[in-house]
Amino acid sequence: MFNKQEVEVQLADDLIKFVEKWRDKPGNMIMILHKVQQTYGYIPREVALKVSRMTDIPLAKIYGVVTFYHFFKLKKPGKHMISVCMGTACYLKGGEDIIQTIEDTLGLPVNATTEDDEFSLEAVRCVGCCGLAPVLTVDGEVFGKVEKDKIPEIISKFKGK
């Protein structure tokens, strides 16, 4: 059984209104989960429980969607999200080497966050910039034709911001 205190999280008014607006619409779960992630940066367990109760969607179904779609995060990400493209073009042009260099530079494995919560690293399927391969993004800013020796410079641009 769930701990009642765990479910009694206070959601922001705009999130409550959004859930109420989408509660009975087709496709509501995806839209609501996008709004939750936009609000928190990830899907906190206590918020997922609250959404489950508000929408009558079983928690297992919510977690099924969250774990199926790569976009949704269950852990709070770092202040800066580094995404390395591993689509075909980027992979063939050294995407794995880019990841390895970032791991070595930050001491950060893929799908993790640095101890200071400053950076998170993820490998993504494609960012749609195949002509710029290999590509990485930091907080949505695209860096193309990335060379391993440029990674410390890219990271320093965001460090401490």
pLDDT at residue 88 is higher than 90: yes
Residue 109: cis peptide before it, omega within 30 degrees of 0: no
Secondary structure letter of residue 146 according to DSSP: -
pLDDT at residue 112 is higher than 50: yes
* Tally of residues, the chain: 161
- Tell me whether strands 119-124 and 80-85 are parallel, antiparallel or unpaired: parallel
Average pLDDT of span 132-158: 97
Q: Name residue 115's amino acid.
A: E
pLDDT at residue 5 is higher than 60: no
pLDDT, tens digit, for every residue of 26-65? 889 999 999 999 999 899 999 999 999 999 999 999 999 9
For residue 112, list its beta bridge partners. Answer: 121
Residue 5: exposure state from Cβ atoms within 10 A (0-12, 13-18, ≥19): exposed
Q: What confidence category does residue 8 fall into, taking pLDDT thresholds of 50, 70 and 90?
A: low
Percent of the chain surpassing pLDDT 90: 84
User: Whose CA is closest to 148, among 113, 109, 115, 105?
Assistant: 105
User: Whose CA is closest to 155, among 79, 87, 73?
Assistant: 79
